[in-house]
Structures are given as structure tokens and as C-alpha cells.
Amino acid sequence: MAAGTGLVASELIAGFVSPSLSTMTALGGAVIDAVPPGVKDWAVSLFGTADKLALLAGMALGIAALAAAAGVLELRRRFAGAAVFAVFGVVGLTAVLTRAQVTAAAVVLPLLAAGIGIAVLLKLVRRLAPADVGGDAGPGPARRGFFQLLGGTAAGVLVGGAVVTVWRGGAAGVNEVRRTLRLPVPRSAAPPIPAGADIRLAGVGPLVTPNPDFYRIDTALSVPVLDSREWRLKVTGLVEREVELTFEDLLAKPLIERHVTIACVSNEVGGDLIGNARWLGWPVRELLAMAGPKPDADMVLSRSSDGFTASTPLEVLTDNRDALLAVGMNGEPLPLEHGFPVRMIVPGLYGYVSATKWLTELKVTKFADDVAYWTPRGWSERGPIKISSRVDVPRNGASVPAGAVVFGGVAWAQHTGIGKVELRVDGGSWQPARLAPGISVDTWYQWQLGLDLQPGQHEVQVRATDLKGTEQAEEHRSVAPDGATGFHTIRVDVKT
């Protein structure tokens, strides 16, 4: 209860003075930075987009265990438990100082949490301890008074925790600036979706992923809350002239709108860490042209407000693809969890080397001179998306009636496009599926195929071929260091 009181009070105050960085988010960010890549892969594969919730739950359990030990120590030896709380405060302070969003207000928060926790701990222990140790209830434990105080503390923690959840979550969700923002009409609207691109097969997701359903994988334990009126984007490094852009400057540019599918490098074969949206933004190449990259530059290190960095090949940002400084997603300003006010979208690259959210800096540099967040953690410095395909329906392990069984799913080869999709049953010959027209080569394609299956267990595999004739790799490889490969394989139970 003492630890909970200190943390809840600290989080409440953070909502007013440091909405983007609190004690818990700083500790969580430090843990994310410290974990080996294998642990990160395991967490994403096990928890998916709930990985941050799982981390917070694990941290809460760990803090509760340490706090329980501190209570026992304090009861046995005066100020021993308080010393544990003080150490926790120092650890929290160290974590805060390592964060890119650190401010003077944020530095005070872990010390405040420790101080409040110590005060409550000493009060509770004095009520429980014998009189000769400073208690005020006679020779034995004053159980009634102690449990009354404990119950009151617990109620305060619960109410405070509920307020923190509403306040800190609501502070992002009701951002008045974002709510009232009206995006400009694009100079170049997204091309119309071709007829038949959405096969509308039950079990296959929508062609354009709704914002609330779009996957979120990043290193920010708490969603950064950036005021677009104060936002700045700087272009630095190996350039002829440095450039600084305000949000108003960006909105005044000739924006374009494009459908682009993006994917996480942690997406397993057949996984759902991928989505397709209609993005509004200004081509990155136009901004880089203003800065004038020097001839020896070959990489752009993009930086998020929370310190995350991504290494994007310079040629990918200066060719004819629609790499964007995105301000809009599916007709509305970027959701806060997807990078408001500005993020990068680069067709053809995994997000860890391109899709930086809460963007604040583009440093033109060289791969030989700079490394991004994930590179020293064992991931490739370049991350072109691999050709892949997925069976969405029937689901793996499904029972289906004998006869015609309709299969459907998606395939993608961003910035190249899909030429054909094929299925095979029980290792037999490949059969071509009906491939729906893609919105563009930068999006996924839907497909479907009806197969006559006899009763029994059947293994079904899918593979895609891009428009250049390159087939999807059959060899099964894990997501590290540059994306998974292999055919998505499902098994269906055909009933009579």
C-alpha cells in the first residue's frame, strides 16, 4: 500500500507536469531498452499488441514483491524498509535521466514517489509495531487501528489508480488541438480503389484497416503527447543547409494521399502485425531536397520524441516512391498512438527502419557513422519487406464440411506488387488463386480460391509471387534479424 500510494501520487502529478514521462514509463522504457532481442521477440509473439500491458503488469508484480519485503524489513529493523524505498527512488531517477523526454519536473517524480512511499510505510509500521518501537497502541499490535489505516490507504490507491487511468489516458485522447484540427485537402488525392479489390469474404479483414484495429508495436510504454503547435522537425547532419519545419509549415505544403501497407519486422509467418491505411502527408524527398544531402551520405536517422531511432537508406527516401511525412490516417489526423502529430511512412521497408512515430528529427548521415535503436540489439540495419502471404479463412484447425471449401487471405510485396497467389493441399501441385486487383504496388492484395476437399485432415499452404516473378521463400526463418520467411501453413479437418 505504501509503494502504491507513492507511485499513484507520482503518476497523478505527472499528468499535470510531465504527461509524456513518469516514473513508471521511465522504468518501463529502461526495461525495454535493456532486454535482449530474443526476449523482445518472445514477448511480441506471446502477447502481440498487448506486450506493453504485460510489461506493466509484470512491473507491478515486481514492485509489489519488493514493497512486501520492505514492509517486513521495516517491521524488524527501523528504517531498513525505508532504505529499500530510497533505493527504488534512485533507480527511478536513473531511469528518468536516461529518457529523451527528461525534464526538470520529471526528475522530481521518482524522488517524490519514494518520499511519499516512505512516509506512508513508516506510518503503517508505527501503527502495527509494539510501543517500544514507536507504536502508539500499547504492548501488542493495534490490529483494528492498523487495518483501518490500511483499508483507507488501499481505498486511496484504488481511487487514485482509477483517476490516473482516466486522466493519463484521457489526456492523450481528448487533446483539444488534435480534436479541432482540420486537415487540408490533398493536392493529389489517393487513387480510387479498383472495383473488386475487396473480395468481401467472411473471415478476411477489410482491405483498408480501421484506425482502432491497426496494429501498434513501438518502444513507447506511454503514448507521447505532443502539442502540434510546439512541434518542430529538424533536418541535420550531412546537408548543405539545416532545415526546421513547424506543423503549420508542413500543413501548408502540397500534401498527397496514398494507400500504403506497413508491417512490423516481428510479424511471424501468418501473423497480423500488418495493416493497410490511407495516409496523408508530404513526400520526404521534397524536404530532403530543401536540405541538400551531401554526396557521401547514404542513410537518414529518424528520431522520435521518446528517443527511438530508425535507419532508412537515403536512396529509398529520395526515389519515386511515396515515402511520406504523414499527418493523416484514413481521413483524420494521426491517432496519438500512431504518431501524432507527424510520423514517417515508407513503402517497402519494415517499420523498425522507417515508420518512426512522433517524429522530431531527420539526421542525414552514413551507415558507417551512426546506428539506429535496433541495430546494436541484433537486427539488420536495413529492412526491406519480404514477399509474404497469409491464409485468413478457414482458420488453422477449423472443421469444415466436405466439398467446396473457400479459402481466402492476403499477400504483399510492398513497392513491387503481387503477380499471383497459389495454394497446394497436402504437398501436391500448386493451384492458382483468384487474385483481386491491388490498390497499388504499395498495398496488400486479397485473394480467394475454392477447393474440393475429401473428408479427413488436410494441410494447406499458400505462396505468392511478385510482379517481377520472384517467388516467396519457402525456407522457414524466424523474424530476427530481418523478417520471417516461409509458407503460411494451416490444417483443416474436413467432416463428412
Is residue 25 located within the same domain as residue 99? yes
Q: Classify the C-alpha dihedral 110-111-114-115 as positive or negative.
A: negative
CATH of the domain at 478: 2.60.40.650
Asked if residue 277 lies in contact with residue 259, where contact means CB atoms within 8 angstroms, the answer is: yes
Residues 170 and 24 placed together within one structural domain of the fold: yes
Same domain, 6 and 126: yes
CA distance 343 to 325: 6
Residues 138 and 245 in one domain: no
User: All 3 cell numbers of residue 251?
Assistant: 500543413
Residue 269 near residue 202, CB atoms below 8 Å: no
- 152 plus 294 within the same structural domain: no
Are residues 444 and 356 part of one domain? no
* Within a domain: 408: yes
| Opening angle at CA 387, ends 383 and 388, nearest 5 | 110
In this structure, is residue 196 part of a structural domain? no
Judgement on whether residues 231 and 364 belong to the same structural domain of the protein: yes
Share of the chain above pLDDT 90, in %: 70
CA nearest to 364, candidates 314, 290, 316, 317? 314
Domain assignment of residue 470, yes or no: yes
Query: Domain of 256: which CATH number?
Result: 3.90.420.10
pLDDT (0 to 100) of residue 133:
45
> Which residues have a Cβ under 8 Å from the Cβ of 84 and sit 6 or more positions away?
66, 69, 70, 73
Residue of 394, 364, 371 lying closest to 299 (CA atoms): 364
Report the domain count for the chain: 3
Residue-number span of the structural domain to which 364 is assigned: 211-377
pLDDT in tens, 368-388: 999 999 999 889 999 999 999
CA-to-CA distance for 140 and 354, rounded, in angstroms? 64
Q: Do 327 and 227 belong together in one domain?
A: yes
Q: pLDDT (tens digit, 9 = 90+) per residue, 468-495? A: 999 999 999 999 999 999 999 999 999 9
Residue 179 located in a structural domain: no
> Do β-strands 232-237 and 359-365 pair in parallel, antiparallel, or remain unpaired?
parallel
CA distance 61 to 54: 11
Q: 383 lies in a domain?
A: no
| HSE, side-chain direction, 13 A CA sphere, residue 371 | 9
For residues 328 and 339, give the distance between their C-alpha atoms in angstroms, rounded to a whole number: 10
Q: Do residue 117 and residue 251 come from a single domain?
A: no
Cis peptide before 481 (omega within 30 of 0): yes
Three-class secondary structure of residue 257 per DSSP = strand
- For the residues 416-444, what does the mean pLDDT come to? 97
| 297 assigned to some structural domain | yes
Tell me if the pTM is above 0.85.
no
Q: What does DSSP assign to residue 195?
A: T
Mean pLDDT, all residues of the chain: 90
- How distant, in Å, are the alpha carbons of 243, 387, 423, 437, 439 from that of 193? 36, 22, 26, 9, 5
Of the listed ranges 58-62, 242-246, 484-488, the one predicted with least confidence: 58-62
Of 315, 347, 377, at which residue does a domain stop?
377
Mark whether 239 and 296 lie in a shared domain.
yes
